[in-house]
Amino acid sequence: MNGRCVITVGDLGEFGVVARITGRLPQGGAVLLGPGDDAAVVSAPDGRVVVTTDLLIEGRHFRRDWSSGYDIGRKAAAQNLSDVVAMGADPTGIVVGLGLPPEAATGWLDDLTDGFRDECDLVGASVVGGDITRCDLVVIGVTALGDLGGREPVTRSGARPGDVVAVTGRLGHAAAGLALLHGGRAEPAALIDAHRRPEPPYARGPEAAALGATSMLDVSDGLFQDLGHVAEASRAGIVLDPESFAVHPLLEEAAGLLGADPLEWMLAGGEDHALAATFPEGVRLPPAWTAIGWVTDGEGVQVTGRPMGRGGWDHFQK
């Protein structure tokens, strides 16, 4: 293996034009050849490349009247970078495909690109290129790359009975913020900001891998639903203890305003991009991780003393 990876999506040269004009897409240490050619070359010291991709569509995943171009750029990058660290890898770069209406192709595009850049800066990654085309609404496709650094990937299928289930990062904040926006409210502003711009706990993915996590994933569609993927892949059951969840005062405040249940946001709300992982019994968890349940024989996810439906986000619901 030569430790290099050639990546192409559309015509990287076209996106390179934007990079040269705006100066907003710096080339980082992992990028051996950045925007301007038909493809980029990214270093892969481990000899393996972690790859993930997501698609965001205006009106379905974001609204331009609720979020700025900068916010949307941060969010689009974050949800992909979070998937990379959920495998226990270190992000190295992203490739972006954009469909834009004419009115979004000026200052708004600059703000969007700034968002991509600043989110990547948090993990030492770079925007290595992409493609732009005209579209009736904003469509954003992001592909993120990562390096395992010699570690084995942490998948969804390794949980075993007796393992501890733990989470790190915010839960329910983005869902509460979205509910506030739908309710026409502007406060608590921190929750609305959480919907617009998630804050994944990037450092915790490789940390969990080093601690021997048996499974891990990014919480994007709701904790209950996402842990269901771990249970299914691992052929095991998961029991969650609601008493282990510390409800943030802002969630309590928003729930009071909207007549909602804050724990429902924490269990079923998505887009915070927290990390959930399982660890062998006896592992000493760092302070950033909170134990919330355990893995059992059986199947599916149960919440002690609380009936739960399917829960979480469904991309094909209206």
Domains detected in the chain = 4-147 (3.30.1330.10), 164-303 (3.90.650.10)
Mark the binding-site residues for ATP, compressed into ranges. 130-131, 156, 220
Mark the binding-site residues, compressed into ranges. 38, 52-54, 61, 83, 130-131, 156, 218, 220-221, 271, 313
Q: What is the pTM of this model?
A: 0.89
Cβ atoms of 89 and 204 within 8 Å: the answer is no
Mark the binding-site residues for Mg(2+), compressed into ranges. 38, 52-54, 83, 131, 218, 221
Cβ atoms of 52 and 143 within 8 Å: the answer is yes
Mark the binding-site residues for substrate, compressed into ranges. 61, 271, 313
Q: Which of 164, 149, 150 is nearest to 230 (CA)?
A: 164
Residues 129-150 pLDDT 10s? 888 999 999 999 999 999 999 9
Residues 186-241 pLDDT 10s? 999 999 999 999 999 999 999 999 999 999 999 999 999 999 999 999 999 999 99
Cβ atoms of 234 and 156 within 8 Å: the answer is yes
First and final CA of the chain: distance in angstroms?
46
Query: pLDDT value at position 206?
Result: 97
Please give the Cα distance from 25 to 77 (Å, whole number). 13
Sheet-wide strand order for 4-7? 4-7, 40-43, 31-33
The parts of the chain modelled with pLDDT lower than 70 are: 1-2, 4-29, 105, 309-318
Neighbours of 248 (CB within 10 A): 20
Please give the Cα distance from 239 to 277 (Å, whole number). 13
Query: pLDDT value at position 21?
Result: 37
